[in-house]
Amino acid sequence: MSFQVPLRKNLLGIKPYIPGKPIEELERELGIQNASKIASNENPLGPSPKVLQALEKALSKISRYPDGGAHNLSHALSRHLGVNPKQVLLGNGSNELLVLLGQMVLNPGDEVVFAEPGFIIYPLVAQLFEAVPRAIPLKDFAHDLQAFSKALTPKTKLVYICNPNNPTGSMVSLLAVEAFLKVCPPSVLVVLDEAYYEYVEEKTYFESLRILDKYPNLIVLRTFSKAFGLAGLRVGYGIAHEDFAEIYQKTRQPFNVNSLAMTAAEAALTDISHMKKVTALNSSMRGLLLDGLVKLGLKPAPTQANFVYFNIPGALELYQGLLEKGVIIRPMGPNALRVTTGTEEETRNFLGVFEGVLKAKGAHPK
């Protein structure tokens, strides 16, 4: 008997997020071992040893519900960032925050502005709440915030700015972000998605938190999934105006961040030196990837994240060729690929395998 309960019509056209291919699945398919996954912007060094120790101690307490108010983690983030703990929003990954923020402000027919190509969750949020997605093309692989300004209409209720941008890794300066905020109506919620904040080295990028008081409609999102290595535990956070944060606390699901995730995040903040080892490795491998791709005749996008994006004809065929050699990267449509920085062994292996696949496929980079 078929399912007959009528669903909201807007749900039927939503394209689901497709995660990167798991290593285990590829190894089963090919009958191989030691496949390499550099597709999902994961941390190749993993979390701090202090995180693992804290998790081991916390395991005996998982029969208890988490602290619904997340007191310890909120205060740890408050100290780390220099903000009031009442400004802290927590989510099951920053992904949940992106969706919940949309739920809080969007009504059918409202407009959501974001960059294209960009994170697929942004248009998904618009569709989920029957809003209208307004995709603005990138300029030189980064957000064109002047075009964002021109795209604002009385129906605009939500703007997502991913900085550095996923999937291209390019960033815009804080000066450019603030220039946009100055012309953006205070009734429009602006979400500055800084998931890759810790990897950035460009000095014109930082200190977005210092402008929060000037723009109460601004929310800054970050995550423990990337540089802190907690992707599997799902804990993201936001910093917002206190008035907005108070309403968020009323609307989020109780216990939306589990106790192990909070324990791990608190421990991660006690070992910033480990996170700096991660970002130092990323800087080195990012340079190695960029240089290697240029030598292959490609023109990768300038990146401040832990991945490299480049346009190339026949991307899907090249992706498949890499899979057959045990290397998982991320196809970004028919003419672009994205590669995560890994260990030095993974990075050099990718470059060698990719050169062989290019030759075998007769590909001609542009």
Which structural domains are found in the chain, ordered by start?
Answer: 18-46+273-361 (3.90.1150.10), 49-268 (3.40.640.10)
Which of these, 329, 310, 321, lies nearest to 356 by C-alpha position?
A: 321
Interhelix angle 71-81/259-268, nearest 10 degrees? 30
* Confidence (pLDDT) at 5: 85
* Confidence (pLDDT) at 127: 95
Which of these, 343, 340, 321, lies nearest to 330 by C-alpha position?
A: 340
What Cα–Cα distance (Å) separates residue 303 from each residue in 138, 180, 296?
Answer: 14, 22, 18
* Confidence (pLDDT) at 14: 80
Q: How far is CA 246 from the centre of its chain?
A: 25
* Residue 102 CB partners (closer than 8 Å, separation 6+): 112, 125, 126, 128, 129, 131, 158
* Confidence (pLDDT) at 365: 61
Compute the distance between CA of residue 88 and CA of residue 75 in angstroms, rounded to an integer: 9
Token pair 């196809």 is at which residue? 331
Task: Give the pLDDT confidence of 242-276 residue by residue, as tens digits.
Answer: 999 999 999 998 899 999 999 999 999 999 999 99
User: 109: phi > 0 → left, psi -120 to 50 → alpha, else beta; which?
Assistant: left
Which of these, 341, 327, 288, 278, lies nearest to 36 by C-alpha position?
A: 327
Task: Give the pLDDT confidence of 20-74 residue by residue, as tens digits.
Answer: 778 888 888 878 778 899 999 999 999 999 999 999 999 999 999 999 999 999 9
Low-confidence residues in the chain, pLDDT < 50: none
Which of these, 228, 343, 352, 330, lies nearest to 284 by C-alpha position?
A: 343
Q: Which residue type occupies 194?
A: E
125 and 112 in contact (C-beta within 8 Å)? yes
Q: Which residue type occupies 187?
A: S
* Confidence (pLDDT) at 224: 98
* Confidence (pLDDT) at 363: 65
